[in-house]
Structure 1
Amino acid sequence: MNNAPATNTAPVTKNAPAANTAPVTDDAPVTVTVIGLGLMGQALATAFLKAGHPTTVWNRTPAKAEDLAARGAAVAPTVGEAVLASSLIVVCLSDSAAVHDTVGPHRAELAGRTLVNLTSGTSDEARETAAWATDFAYLDGAIMAIPEVISRPEAFLLFSGAPEAFERHEETLKTLGNAVFFGEDPGLASLYDVALLGVMWGTLNAFLHGAALLGAAKVDASAFAPFANQWLSSVTGFVSAYAEQIDRGAYPAEDAALETHLATMKYLVRESAAAGIDTDWPARIQALAERAIEAGHTGAGYAGLIEVFRGQA
């Protein structure tokens, strides 16, 4: 949920930073460089500035640095100078290829520093980037927030990679929101990221389908929303219970068997078709349950669908 593409290669020369290789101490604020100033990158840099961190920024499009410069950020004319300016380098670009193209040529300047990559990508891409981080510490990260809430309590960020680097910079990274560390496998933050986004998209798709269904009966979405939210609070209980079943590898029908769920799923498909609402979403849910039952999970609870998603049903 980051992404900050940049296209213009014209250099920025104002407020150019001096090289800063001083070690981080308990008395001095950590120096931070932010590379990539899309909406998210600008929010990150703003948060660091507000927290009192000397902040250097770089972006291919000079205009994107102007507001930050007015707030006190130093604007580096080159990526190399941006890297040399700080002990903590935060990258937020459009994709993994942009990270390699932008930062890759500056491995020598990165020596002894910490690179935090907050660019969206896959777990394999995170591990590939970590593999060439031989002379510097590497943390891969994911931002579970929109730019407007960066630095607020509801923002949380996921990190994985070098444990000593996270420990060293944890307080600085908490400037951006709640910081959670998943261990030294650099790919875990990205895996959590896409898994959580899948939960979001699945939930929102279900809400939008429900709003369309009720809308066919002239019910406003704003009237439906409070009930959807109330029901979601109940669904969180199912998530916790099913997680325990998945970890045990046993799926007892403690609330309802898959066959019971399937019968109700068919009503959702029929209601959608009758209202002229697209049936693809409920039909896919129905098909998943049918596959699980056909694979022998008769009498199992809903968590048994995990075997379908694992490709084992």
Structure 2
Amino acid sequence: MKTPVTVLGLGAMGTALARAFAAAGHPTTVWNRTPGRSPELDVVRATTAAEAIAASPLVVVCLLVDDTVRSTLDGIDLTGKTVVNLTNSTPDQARGTAEQLTRAGAQYVDGGIMAVPAMIGGPGAFIFYSGEPEGFDKHSADLSVLARPEYVGADPGLASLYDIALLSAMYGMFGGAQHALALITSQDLAAEPFTTRFLGPWLTAMLTSLPRIAEDLDDGPAETAGSNLSMQAAAYENLISTSEAHDVDPMLLAPMGELLHRAVAAGHGKADLSALVSLLRTA
């Protein structure tokens, strides 16, 4: 018999998690603060969170915010339970929740879902996990029905850190893409052919430079930069002036230009993009 699983929270993501467990043959119990959500699920429905938790050794939590997780589980005996918290949170929130739930008897594992609900159970999704190694090892096969599990360390805050780091990169990329589309459409040019023929392939090609930047950070920069920061800072002014000339707000571009000029002023003009990383850290 497969491991019984409890899922707390039936929003879009919680519903996808419960559906994946049930489809894989796990006896699945669910609880949601508002009864009657996701009636199509073939699962057991508990009337209270405590009742739901009592039903399974593995408890997967996917609620709205960290405060909701803490208040929902406050006062419940979690002895013998592995609690996997997939609620979006910050690293410090994850560590605080880990302390509370560990005191209540749980083996705590935090997670960061790198997928949208429709991807759960499919090959393209993965989930970061961190926290109690024994709890993760015990249930890694159970969790693999949701997405590829990626365990990143015993510190419960690491999954959130990895999650937020990847989301930061995603939003930065989309911000740049949206600015590019604003420029193109400002001249009544079609967005779709520009995106398909040029924007997508260009971004894909530029991503190949990321491993080299990472190597520079880990091992020290190469002796010569392929495209030094002094040149990039000077050319960057054209991005700002062109945007303004075409009535496109440069708000998404301006911070990068400021960082390039700051790097040059700090003596990094001959360096490559990896030199910017240290300037972003404030400690």
**TM-score scaled by length of structure 2:** 0.96
1:64 is paired with a residue whose SS is: coil
Q: Is the 8 A contact 1:251 1:302 kept in 2?
A: no
Alignment-derived partner of residue 246 in structure 2: 275
TM superposition shift of 1:266: 1.1
TM superposition shift of 1:296: 1.3
TM superposition shift of 1:130: 1.3
The CA RMSD over aligned residues, in Å, is: 1.3
Alignment of 1:226-265 (within 5 A): 226=196, 227-250=198-221, 252-265=223-236
TM superposition shift of 1:29: 0.1
| 2:252 matches 1:284 | no
1:171 & 1:80 partners in 2: Cα distance? 25
Q: Is the 8 A contact 1:59 1:65 kept in 2?
A: no
Q: Could you give the per-residue CA deviations for residues 30-78 of structure 1, whole angstroms, max 9, x where no partner exists?
A: 100000111110010000000000000001111204222xx2x000011
Alignment-derived partner of residue 188 in structure 1: 158
Alignment of 1:35-114 (within 5 A): 35-68=8-41, 71=42, 73-106=43-76, 108=77, 110-114=78-82
Q: Could you give the per-residue CA deviations for residues 189-225 of structure 1, whole angstroms, max 9, x where no partner exists?
A: 0001111100010000000000000112222221221
1:102 & 1:311 partners in 2: Cα distance? 36
Structure 1 stretches of at least 4 aligned residues deviating more than 6 Å after TM superposition: none
2:113 is paired with a residue whose SS is: strand
1:34 is paired with a residue whose SS is: strand
2:37 is paired with a residue whose SS is: helix
Q: Percent identity?
A: 41
Flag structure 2 segments of 5+ consecutive residues without an equivalent.
none
TM superposition shift of 1:274: 0.8
Q: Is the 8 A contact 1:265 1:282 kept in 2?
A: no
Q: Could you give the per-residue CA deviations for residues 224-251 of structure 1, whole angstroms, max 9, x where no partner exists?
A: 2122221122222211100010112436
Q: Is the 8 A contact 1:120 1:190 kept in 2?
A: yes
2:122 & 2:224 partners in 1: Cα distance? 40
1:299 & 1:254 partners in 2: Cα distance? 7
Alignment-derived partner of residue 302 in structure 1: 273
2:135 to 162, 165, 169: 165
2:237 to 266, 283, 287: 266
| 2:97 matches 1:129 | yes
2:70 & 2:222 partners in 1: Cα distance? 44
